[in-house]
Chains A and B, each alone.
Chain A
Amino acid sequence: MKNLFLSALALAVLGALGGCASLGVEPWQRDVLARDEMSLGYDPVTAGLDDHIYFSKEASSGGRGFGGGGCGCN
């Protein structure tokens, strides 16, 4: 089951990579993407606070990115 899932994921990633080559913008067209609020890592301080609250109140955590920091709040 797990292996099946992993291979499906690998396929999906490879497929996505192939499809990605045709997506995107030229370097001079990044004006909108360059804005702070379009960055995926925008406002890490707030993201860290949110992650911490939900980590201590729910049984799921992580996934969004890599924030480090263990805590004994579970």
Chain B
Amino acid sequence: MQLKQRRIGKRLRKASQRLLEQKRGPAPTGTLAIAGVMAAPAAMAAAQPGEWELNSAILIYSETDRVTAIEPVFQASRYFDNDRIFSAKLVVDALTGASASGAVPAQTFQTFSRPSGRGAYTVGPGDVPLDDTFHDTRVALSSTWSQPLGTNLSGSFGLNVSKEYDYLSIGGSSVLNWDFNKKNTTLTLGLGYAQDQISPEGDIPTALAYQSYASGSDAEQSQSNYAAQEGSDNAERALRDGSDSKAVADVLVGLTQVIDRRSLVQLNYSLSLSDGYLTDPFKVVSVVDASDGTPQGQIYEHRPDSRLKQSLFVRGKRALENDDVVDLSYRYLFDDWGLRSHTVDVRYRWGLGEWFVQPHVRYYQQSATDFYQAFLIDGQPLPEDVSADYRLGDMQAFTAGVEVGRSAGAWGQWRVALEYYRQTPDEPSDKPGALAALEVAPAVEAVMVRFNYDFKL
């Protein structure tokens, strides 16, 4: 028996030796080379101690006539002995283009002061005012250390810094995972804290203060009218603070449960408390005439200085008999700003040997925050909090996309995704006079292209 065993062992050793020798020449690394020889190449095996896992991606996000963003990501994870992992991630986010200022369109040309107070821009009749000075580059660095803390307990601890031209965010987080019931159940506790500082160009505008504004029957007239009263907000500018800050604390309690050999579910409850300057210094609210609906000017928006968000998130994953994977999730979110939202996300990973195709659909619906108003009526007292940012209004959004990739291969894995995103904000129902004929909150359409490449060293 023992002798036989040894002989078989020798044969097996010889066989694997042969395989190794065959492929060692042209291939880059031993492990991957052998994987390449196998009749059915397996998906890239999980990283072993001593290895690096590298994940990279680039996303191009492009809205019709509005914002374009290019976002490269690079993440490197080093696996150490005893299930310890260090991971570092760099994200760069380059934005260009125009975004809605919050002001309403008019039947005339309108000239607006830039939020910084430096210069002005003019929009045509019926056009939704877009502030075209919107370009910025964000660089975010984060790192995480994960390790076991006991037989069934593991923790990960992270730090992150994000810097923009006018924004700095520094935060930390820690996540504990406790496995029990033969690792079929996992309880997760996450805590996070971030401190953000914003110092916009031209300083922090005074809430609810009027901006310089003019209109005219053509662009030139509008601009000359504007020049005549430019600086009417100088007194307000002199009062501005250079920067403001906010703090965000997050708590997450999660439960992950294996249902059977092919499915698992996750349930998360999250709570997020933001405190401080939550206003968008670049957004304004138009003040319109009660009867004819023409804009009389616009004021800087103001949001409450605290926000408590809570959400419930349920997700299920199931591998079907043919090994396709269905990934379903739903989130219900509500906050003390009066916002309620529902998000449904469905992905179907269709395996085709070494390749896969993954269609994706997402539906999002939110109800407006209490202080959202598409415009204010001239002559009425100003509310304490008001924002005309369509992102705080009633809105639906829909995403449809498809991802294609190759999940095997000696040179790593790549995949490419194409997605279409469409936001349809609700049009305000009570538009007075001429405003009734104009579209205040048009749909926003975007196309996203993403390319991912993962490999190991």
Contacts and interface: CB of A to CB of B under 8 A. Distances in A.
Nearest to A13: B255
B267 A27 contact: no
Contact of A57 (B175, B257, B423): B423
A18 to B, nearest CB: 11
B61 interface: yes
A4 interface: no
A38 B182 CA distance: 18
B315 interface: yes
A5 to B, nearest CB: 8
A44 B175 CA distance: 15
A69 B313 contact: no
A46 B264 contact: no
Interface in A40-54: 40, 43-46, 48-49, 52-54
B58 to A, nearest CB: 9
B424 interface: no
Interface residues of A, number: 48
A46 B327 CA distance: 15
A27 B392 contact: no
A72 B182 contact: no
B258 interface: yes
A59 B366 contact: yes
B315 A64 contact: yes
Contact of B248 (A31, A46, A70): A70
A64 B325 CA distance: 18
A68 B192 contact: yes
Given A23-B258, A49-B59, A72 B198 contact: yes
Nearest to B169: A70
Interface residues of B, number: 93
A46 B419 CA distance: 13
B366 A24 contact: no
A29 B261 CA distance: 6
Interface stretch (B29-37, B159-167, B291-299): B159-167
A68 B315 contact: no
B349 interface: yes
Contacts of A27: 182-183
A54 B364 contact: yes
Sort A-B residue pairs by CB-CB distance and give the 7 closest, nearest first: A24-B184, A72-B167, A70-B169, A63-B313, A66-B190, A63-B311, A70-B194
Interface of B: 43-44, 46, 55-57, 59, 61, 71, 73, 75, 89, 91, 93, 138, 140, 142, 158, 160, 162, 164, 166-167, 169-173, 175, 181-185, 190, 192, 194, 196, 198, 248, 250, 252-262, 264, 266-270, 272, 280, 309-313, 315, 317, 319, 323, 325, 329, 331, 333, 339, 341, 343, 349, 356, 364, 366, 369, 391-392, 395, 397, 407, 417, 421, 423, 444, 448, 450, 452
Given A49-B59, A57-B423, 17 more contacts: A24-B181, A24-B184, A24-B258, A26-B182, A32-B261, A33-B258, A45-B55, A45-B73, A48-B73, A58-B341, A60-B343, A62-B250, A63-B268, A63-B331, A65-B252, A66-B173, A69-B142
11 contacts: A24-B182, A25-B261, A33-B261, A35-B43, A37-B407, A45-B89, A48-B89, A62-B311, A63-B270, A63-B312, A68-B142
